[in-house]
Amino acid sequence: MNIQRFTAATSREALAKARLAFGEGTLILSNRPTEHGVEVVATAEDSLASLDRGIAPAANKLPTATRRPSPPSNYQEVASKVEEDAEQLAMSTLSFQDYVRERMLRRRHEAAQTSAEALPAPAPAAPERPRPPALTQRIAVDVAPPAPKPAAARKPQTLPATAAVSKGVMDELHAMKELIEDRFNTLTWLGQARQNPIQSNMMLKMIRAGYSPTLSRAILERMPEEMDAAESVRWVMDVLERNLRTDAGTPALHEEGGVFALIGATGVGKTTTAAKLAGLCARTHGPGSVGLITLDTYRVGAHEQLRAYGKMLGVVAHLAHDKAALQDLLGLLSNKKMVLIDTTGIAPRDPRKRELMELLDLPAIKRLLVLNAGGHGDTLDEAVNCFKTNTSQQTIFSKIDEAVKLGPAIDAAIRHQLLLRGITTGQRVPEDWEAAVATKLVRMSMRTAGMSAYDPKVSDLGFFFSQPTSPQGTAKGRMDA
């Protein structure tokens, strides 16, 4: 191994001497200051490479048992070998690290070139074998293992549970958000109510009359602030009258004529209402101008009840079991001024409601929704939503005489934009029938008779002033204030 020492006044001059001796492939093994300047120990890279190539094949050819060096014969030989090793390995730490780094890089480069020359065809696939892509693929397989493995059978069971927990947390957060919004709206409205006590008292009056908080709030938010108590009552009643649609100014039902089917829930008075309309038409145009048909085959005595009313009026009542029979009867009674169809009373959630609506799906039939004026607001809302039609919904308020509060019925008619065609005020046929007059109905609704166990208190107004949480509670259409 050719290792030489170079001494000069400066390290630059010593390195220049080393490069002059070994050329560009000079490898600095060590450098240290001396009395005469700087001493540099250097060698050529080729000598180290030849040393590696010479030692490695010889070491590989020897058996494993004979690779260990034989013990030296005497002390002088041992000392000389130690001095030679120390002289050859007398590198500084930094120089040795640089040497190792350069050797590793050179060997990798030589190995890549050798593999490229030996295997020209698979060479393009060599860059596709780095470890990061293989690691990524293994992570993906660990996260989503194949279905046949037991682990895969357990993991899908935990995922829905996690999703359910997340959905539960989101539902709780949404509920908390709605609660906070309601509380803030309540505080805001209560602050306005303290500043405007007339508005607060008017809200309490409407709630006690049976109107929904949604409609009451929509009206009172448009009320001018400069009004006194009496003016505010008149203003609210005027708004309610303008928004309650009636058939005022148009011919009444018995004057208009046509084919009408009375629909609605059980016990709202459809049969009695049909008899009253038939009596009005018979009184005006004669008994021969009216036709009666019943579809009620479920209720005991339903056909006999309508037949009894027909005998009183001199009109024959017919029974239709199916759609074909109904069409035949309509063709038979086509010359009548007015044909009334009494249908089966069905609850809004009854599965038979769909069959009834399909049975009445004929071009000539107009539907009249009969609503019990004394019903609860939620009950009326459900009936309107379940029996609604694509065209303008026409309705009749029955049992006005039994209603303690007319506010819920008027409220439902305003929010759902129903056309009120008349009201019934008792059981007499046909006397207890009246035309729908908005002014009269609104004034009747605003007359609260005494206190009730269900009347709210002033402290409860905050619950009514909160914003609605579902679109069903919003007022439909445009509010004409």
Greatest CA separation for the chain: 150
Percent over 90 (pLDDT), the chain: 23
- The tokens describing 196, both together, are 């405007």
Q: Measured between alpha carbons, how far is 92 from 40 in angstroms, rounded to an integer?
A: 11
Of residues 192 and 176, more confidently modeled = 176
Average model confidence (pLDDT) across the chain: 76
H or E element in which residue 358 lies: helix 352-359
Task: Determine the average pLDDT of the residues in 396-400.
Answer: 94
pLDDT band at 267 (very low <50, low <70, confident <90, very high): confident
pLDDT band at 357 (very low <50, low <70, confident <90, very high): confident
Q: Is the pLDDT of residue 470 over 80?
A: no
Per-residue pLDDT tens over the stretch 403-439? 989 999 999 999 999 999 999 998 888 888 999 999 9
Per-residue pLDDT tens over the stretch 54-107? 544 444 444 444 444 444 445 455 445 545 544 554 445 455 556 656 767 777
- Pairing outcome for strands 290-294 and 338-342: parallel
Name every residue whose Cβ is closer than 8 Å to that of residue 2 and which is 6 or more positions away in sequence.
43, 44, 47
Backbone dihedral angles phi then psi of residue 10, each to the nearest 5 degrees? -125, 165
Per-residue pLDDT tens over the stretch 298-356? 665 666 788 888 888 888 889 888 888 899 999 999 999 999 999 888 887 887 888 88
- The tokens describing 198, both together, are 């007339």
The top-scoring range by mean pLDDT among 41-50, 391-400, 413-422, 445-454 is: 413-422
Q: In whole angstroms, how far apart are CA 103 and each of 27, 50, 110, 399, 406?
A: 11, 13, 10, 105, 100
> What pLDDT does 99 receive?
60
Q: In whole angstroms, how far apart are CA 185 and each of 196, 217, 281?
A: 16, 12, 52
Backbone dihedral angles phi then psi of residue 435, each to the nearest 5 degrees? -75, 155
> What pLDDT does 273 receive?
93
> What pLDDT does 76 receive?
54
Q: Is the pLDDT of residue 362 over 60?
A: yes
Per-residue pLDDT tens over the stretch 127-140? 444 443 333 333 33
pLDDT band at 41 (very low <50, low <70, confident <90, very high): confident
Cross-strand partners of 259: 339, 365
Q: Using an 8 Å Cβ cutoff, are 312 and 429 in contact?
A: yes
pLDDT band at 373 (very low <50, low <70, confident <90, very high): very high
